[in-house]
Amino acid sequence: MSTIDIFFQQLANGLILGSFYSLVALGYTMVYGIIKLLNFAHGDIYMSGAFLGFALLSMLAGVLGTGWTGILTAMVLAMIAIGFLGVVIQRIAYVPMLSAPRLSILITALAVSMILYNSVMAITGGQYLAFSTDLGFEGVEIGKVFITQTQIILVVATAVLMISLHLFISKTMMGKAMRAISIDKDACRLMGVNVNRIIALTFFIGSSLAAAAGVMAGVYYGSIHFFMGFVIGLKAFTAAVIGGIGSIPGAMLGGLILGVLEAFGTQIPFVGSEWKDVFAFGILILLLVFKPTGILGQTEIERM
């Protein structure tokens, strides 16, 4: 392949990888923007979404098949169920800790993470499960660059979800309430905003998007594992920081940038795919040194 062909092939690979990072990063940045919590259990919510989507697809296979009809139905149902799981976790684990020191709620998030992935490990016996579908390998060939229909549909589905979220946040009253709470919760309470309900809605949306990313990853890679949420959780957090944690457009942008950089990083001499994680976190360190607020982040002023 020529250099141009390699460029476009890696760009396509980077966009599909970055779309997963973006969807998970949105959950991180939404929760942090409202209650200043780094929800390190979010990667395991993504993993739970993948396993629930797999279970639902297996149940629906006899009726809807394992093509796009069955996959999209399973994904929507998994998004709803995992959204409510996120709300339950928020109510049980995080609400009682909101007035506690910041370190305490962070440790709670890590405990929730361990509960989720150890529960799935016990249920599955720690085995990889094949996420079997009937999608095939058809696609579009542009020169020597091959893009599968699966890649195209997954990127389009991700774009639809992110645009829908952007419109919800910017155009609806609930979205405006989320933005207001991220600025001043006490003033919102005085104005009659049900802060707890809006925070629960934030967890529902963030968890739903993570579940969608989990199902998409299962379809794309063809297998799922109980530990799959660990690395992508760290990568999504990295993407949120790169874009500017607390910024929804920043999370979208950061995920796509990280995915593209990882894809192109594998083509750098002496780097290769085995060094792509080092490459990604090296970028994070450089960004924190030269622009700690991220690409679209803003410096916050602490109120005394």
Give the pLDDT confidence of 105-142 residue by residue, as tens digits: 889 999 999 999 899 999 999 889 998 888 877 777 77
Give CA–CA dist 212/218, Å, rounded.
10
CATH 1.10.3470 corresponds to the domain 3-290: yes
Q: What is the pLDDT of residues 207-223, one digit of tens each?
A: 999 999 999 999 988 89
In the chain, domain spans: 3-290
Distance of CA 98 to the CA centre of its chain: 23
145-156 in b/e burial notation, b at 16+ Cβ within 10 A?
bebbebbebbbe
User: Residue 145's pLDDT band (boundaries 50, 70, 90)?
Assistant: confident
Structure tokens at 263: 């894809």
| Alpha carbons within 13 A on the beta-carbon side of 298 | 8
Phi (first) and psi of residue 142, to 5 degrees: -115, 105
CA distances from 208 to 86, 248, 287, 298 (A): 8, 15, 29, 27
For 3, other C-beta atoms within 10 Å of its C-beta total: 7
Q: What is the pTM of this model?
A: 0.90
